[in-house]
Amino acid sequence: MKIAVAAETRDGEARVALVPELVGKLTALGYDVAVEPGAGMHALLSDDEYVEAGATIDADAITDADVVVSVQPLDVDRIRRLRRGTATVSFLPTTFEQAVVVDLRDCGITAFAMELVPRISRAQSMDALSSQALVAGYRSAIVAAGMLRRFFPLNMTAAGTVQPADVVVLGAGVAGLQAIATSKRLGAVVRAYDVRAAAAEEIRSVGAKSIDLELETLEGSGGYAREMTEDRAARQRDLLTPYIAAADALITTAAVPGRQAPMLVTAAMVEQMKPGSVVVDLAAETGGNVEGSVPGEVVRIGNAQVWGGRNVPSQMPGPASRLYAQNVVNLVTLMTATGEGSAEGEGGTFAPDFDDEIVAGSCVTHDGAVRHEPTRAALEGAS
Ligand code: NAD
């Protein structure tokens, strides 16, 4: 059985789907691991390190592989080079990548999407959304602290006291809680708001004050938020305005699965911020929590510098790759049958069990068909 690690080709993607320290986990399952040349280069991992770990370097690694792992979905040219029946494991945002899904289906590829791994306890070690949100949340706080031309912490000196920065975080999921915890560690005074009822306690548990707007909470299924009505969104914006006007740094991380990011902060709200304020919008790529934010750019709105996130986990490619690779290896391990009584390193076969809810839930295409129901419905609606 052969597993190939694809070099990422999409603009700005610096991560890699397998790191040398995890090659041994796959060879122990019975896989030959082949890595495309330079695959780890942007994450500062050399081809030699992969070879020392037991992999081979092969420019043609994907063509005869049983499984191809990558961070971003493979592009169409490369999908067409795969054998029918090959499995791919990558992020695959089906809403935005319909053309790729069609090609995967038509080429008979069994495609697994890391963002569709169900968020159940048994799948926590395969939860790439969480691992990458952790990186993005940390980075958002560091970016805010770096852009702000003042201290985050309180400083009491003989020459006088320096007041700590006021940070507001909107959205307290995995990324938001990490942004809060990192800002706290740097000494800022942090306030945070989330629409889910459970979030208030989670916000307090990482040391921030929970902002209570006395609005109804919006619990959706599976611990996620529900979308707001326009009326509630407007009230939420009105009530948040004074908190944002008082903040030195605003970090936004709010999302609703499968939808555009909710617009939580208008340009007029940002215009009320003090000179020198900074805004970090982690949701810029999916529509933005802040009106006027641009992914990958810093724009000026009123007195504030507004930083729009673009593939933020890739900005820390080493740790992001290590965490992602661990998620991928755990998912591949779940789908590998090692055979009863077989010695380690012998007899591993890639054999996804579609009765397993993790396997079934994360599979997008298999055997010429789209198995992920919402994607199939969207494709039928589009044709
Ligand atoms: P996410 O990326 O989908 O959204 C980020 C946050 O934005 C969420 O907390 C959401 O409530 C919030 N939000 C949405 N609309 C908002 C609005 N209008 N105003 C303010 N905030 C808004 O979330 P996530 O990080 O993926 O986590 C979502 C939930 O999933 C959490 O309850 C988390 O604990 C849970 N979770 C469970 C598992 C697991 O069981 N394996 C793993 C990770 C996360």
pLDDT of amino acid 255: 86
d(CA 332, CA 358): 11
Q: Where are the beta strands (DSSP E) in the chain?
A: 2-5, 32-35, 56-57, 67-69, 87-90, 110-113, 155-157, 160-162, 166-170, 189-193, 209-210, 249-252, 278-281, 298-301, 304-308, 336-337, 349-350, 363-366, 369-370
State the average pLDDT over residues 32-49. 98
d(CA 334, CA 359): 8
pLDDT of amino acid 319: 98
Task: Report the length, in residues, of the chain.
Answer: 383
- pLDDT tier at 257 (50, 70, 90 boundaries)? confident
Answer whether residue 99 shows pLDDT above 60.
Answer: yes
Q: How many CB atoms are closer than 10 A to CB 350? A: 21
State the average pLDDT over residues 34-45. 98
Regarding the beta carbon of 237 and ligand 1, being less than 6 Å apart is answered no
d(CA 375, CA 381): 10
pLDDT of amino acid 128: 97
Q: Where are the beta strands (DSSP E) in 186-268?
A: 189-193, 209-210, 249-252
Nearest atom (ligand 1) to Cα of 202:
34
State the average pLDDT over residues 43-67. 98
Q: Please check whether residue 302 is in contact with residue 273, taking contact to mean a CB–CB distance below 8 angstroms.
A: yes
Regarding the beta carbon of 202 and ligand 1, being less than 6 Å apart is answered no
End-to-end CA distance of the chain: 37
Give the residue whose CA is nearest to atom 27 of ligand 1: 173
Regarding the beta carbon of 139 and ligand 1, being less than 6 Å apart is answered no
Is residue 127 annotated as a catalytic residue, yes or no?
yes
In whole numbers, what is the pLDDT of the chain averaged over residues? 95
Is residue 124 annotated as a catalytic residue, yes or no?
yes
Mutation choice for ligand 1 from 121, 169, 174, CB with most ligand atoms inside 8 A: 174
d(CA 212, CA 225): 16
- Separation of 160 CA from ligand 1 center, angstroms? 41
Name the residue type at position 283. Answer: A
- pLDDT tier at 347 (50, 70, 90 boundaries)? low
d(CA 120, CA 362): 12
Is residue 130 annotated as a catalytic residue, yes or no?
yes
Residue range 195-230, pLDDT digits in tens: 999 999 999 999 999 999 999 989 887 778 888 899
Answer whether residue 340 shows pLDDT above 70.
Answer: no
Answer whether residue 100 shows pLDDT above 60.
Answer: yes
* Least confident piece of the model among 75-89, 343-357, 364-378: 343-357
pLDDT of amino acid 11: 94
Return the exposure string of 248-264: e unless at least 16 CB atoms fall within 10 Å of the residue's CB, then b. Answer: bbbbbbbbbeeeebbbb
Is residue 140 annotated as a catalytic residue, yes or no?
no
State the average pLDDT over residues 57-81. 97
* Least confident piece of the model among 126-135, 202-211, 254-263: 254-263
- Separation of 287 CA from ligand 1 center, angstroms? 17
3-class secondary structure for 96-125?
A: CCHHHHHHHHHCCCEEEEHHHCCCCHHHHH
Name the residue type at position 111. Answer: A
- Separation of 130 CA from ligand 1 center, angstroms? 10
State the average pLDDT over residues 303-329. 98
Q: Which two three-digit tokens encode residue 108?
A: 């008979």
Answer whether residue 344 shows pLDDT above 70.
Answer: no
d(CA 138, CA 318): 14
Answer whether residue 345 shows pLDDT above 70.
Answer: no
Residue range 149-188, pLDDT digits in tens: 999 999 999 999 999 999 999 999 999 999 999 999 999 9
pLDDT of amino acid 142: 98
Share of the chain above pLDDT 70, in %: 98
d(CA 182, CA 247): 17
- pLDDT tier at 268 (50, 70, 90 boundaries)? very high
d(CA 181, CA 80): 45
Indicate the pTM of the whole model: 0.95
Regarding the beta carbon of 301 and ligand 1, being less than 6 Å apart is answered no
Catalytic residue among 119, 226, 235, 310: 119
- pLDDT tier at 346 (50, 70, 90 boundaries)? low
Regarding the beta carbon of 119 and ligand 1, being less than 6 Å apart is answered yes
Regarding the beta carbon of 225 and ligand 1, being less than 6 Å apart is answered yes
Give the residue whose CA is nearest to atom 39 of ligand 1: 119
Catalytic residue among 75, 185, 224, 310: 224
Is residue 50 annotated as a catalytic residue, yes or no?
no
Q: Please check whether residue 134 is in contact with residue 175, taking contact to mean a CB–CB distance below 8 angstroms.
A: yes
pLDDT of amino acid 382: 80
State the average pLDDT over residues 106-130. 97
- Separation of 204 CA from ligand 1 center, angstroms? 16
Q: Please check whether residue 329 is in contact with residue 353, taking contact to mean a CB–CB distance below 8 angstroms.
A: no
pLDDT of amino acid 341: 47
